[in-house]
Structure 1
């Protein structure tokens, strides 16, 4: 689900950006362009939440599957893609956690205005954009690995290392 949503979000953004920038990539209206960028970041963050709880399990499963796939069937880029997805997930978790801590610390202070709250979310989403884009562009590797694993003689479909299999009572997301 996330891959489909993120592709649509990025296609919409690309079309908007192409129409609202000059030949050198400078926006005609910086304010409108900035607000549209905030919308893109927010939509992508929201779309990622559908797989956030299961992302680590998806990565662990793909890593195990990769170990059991015939080496001739392994795309050379997959190990790199898994490493990039892992790095991006760690950064996303850090941003989410940091934002939650700031919100919690603010509970003892006078309430922030709606504008300040929205600005803090926009800032988090902007910082998260590169990591979300990594998931949007490299996440298909998880599906590719799984597709090859389906054909593997040992049928390594959902082997998950014990560390990643710890019971977590959270909804599972759908990647594609």
Structure 2
């Protein structure tokens, strides 16, 4: 998620520098090439998280449900929903990519226009959902941090724990 944020920040800087005041690129081709690279880099950064993402979401939802109300940020429920929706869509797009890749001519390998164009299209379709993860993924860390700092529901709180001296006399 941190890598994705760095990629997004670099893209924003590039876009600011290479567009006019209305947001139109100075050079459509160069801008498109750079956007395609952003999409590919973001997809690659997410790969390390892809297989554990469902588990991370489930863990965060469980943690959130057990946090004391005064420690919960109101945006966390919304952010987890955005992450879940984005992950659902990313999984659908991944399945579509696998079908597209399997339907390519046998000569279409990485580095050939057929393969690279299809992959670039897949990355472009996936980018906004990957951006959701880059933008809202920090909620997973925030919820985990809050859960780790919250008093355990299993251990007695110090105010409720029996005084050792009193307990020993009984």
What TM-score range do you get, normalising by the shorter chain?
0.7 to 0.9
TM-score (norm 1): 0.82
Number of aligned residues: 152
Distance 1:63 1:11 in 2: 28
Identify the structure with bigger relative contact order (alpha carbons < 8 Å, sequence gap 6+): 1
- Pick the aligned partner of 1:41 from 32, 39, 42: 39
Distance 1:44 1:155 in 2: 39
TM-score (norm 2): 0.85
Matched, 1:103 2:101: yes
Residues 155, 116 of structure 1: CA spacing in aligned structure 2 closer, same or farther, 3 A cutoff? farther
Q: How does 1:106-145 map to 2 (within 5 A)?
A: 106=104, 109-112=105-108, 114-145=112-143
Give the 3-state SS of the residue equivalent to 1:153 in structure 2.
coil
Q: How does 1:7-156 map to 2 (within 5 A)?
A: 7-106=5-104, 109-112=105-108, 114-154=112-152
CA RMSD after TM alignment: 1.5
Distance 2:35 2:116 in 1: 14
Distance 1:155 1:43 in 2: 42
Deviations, residues 58-97 of structure 1 (Å, cap 9, x unaligned) = 0000000001000111111111110110000010011111
Distance 2:59 2:27 in 1: 45
Greater C-alpha Rg: 2
Determine the structure 1 residue equivalent to 2:3. 5
Runs of at least 4 residues off by over 4 Å = none
Deviations, residues 31-51 of structure 1 (Å, cap 9, x unaligned) = 000000000000000000010
Determine the structure 2 residue equivalent to 1:166. none
